[in-house]
Amino acid sequence: MPNGAAGPEIDAWEALHQGADREPLDSPARFKLNRSAVLTAVRSLAGVKRQAQPVPPPPSPPRQAPPRSVGPVGRRTMMRPYAHTRGRTRPDYDLALEALVSTSHRGRRYEGAVSVQHRRICDLCVEPRSIAEIAAFLLLPLNVVKVLVSDMDNLELVMIHQPGLSFGDRSSREFMARVLDGLRGL
């Protein structure tokens, strides 16, 4: 290849890229590895101020959707049942499933309520409810509810009305219907 043939190709290259902002970077002369070309490139880049790149924030941990609630309770807790009762498994005295629980005046003001569960039971029992209904509404085991209610009775937050039903009157039928609804909710 004669030198004259290579010259027009380089001139055509330079003509195509003339006036571009990137000319020093795209020029074929950039790829010649002699000392003067390297010093020229270093000197031309030395005057360019580099902007500090912002540090990207660390990736956030993947979010998991909270468990969906089932039934009338607003949210579901992930506590073990014995944690609600501080490890106790038996109430202070025997409570029947159909025993009615109603909130006392102290319970309506939350005086002495030591846990969230106590407050929830106080709110729920403004209207008298059975132990079975409370367990169904709070999605807690029956024994846990019995322990909580007996503690609340000791703190005078609730009043417990033990059953003494006569099966012929209207109130006992309504009560049994409510108990059945509570059991179906389990």
Domain spans in the chain, listed from the N-terminal domain onward: 7-45, 81-185
pTM, 2 dp: 0.46
Q: What angle do CA 53, 56, 57 make, to 5 degrees?
A: 150
Q: Which two tokens stand for residue 10?
A: 């380089």
State how far the Cα of 29 lies from the Cα of 11, in Å rounded to an integer.
Answer: 12
Q: Which two tokens stand for residue 126?
A: 């403004």
Mean pLDDT computed over every residue of the chain: 72
Question: What are 83-141's pLDDT values in tens digits?
Answer: 566 667 677 778 888 889 999 999 888 888 888 888 999 999 999 999 999 999 988 88
State how far the Cα of 35 lies from the Cα of 144, in Å rounded to an integer.
Answer: 85
Determine what percent of the chain is predicted with pLDDT higher than 70: 49
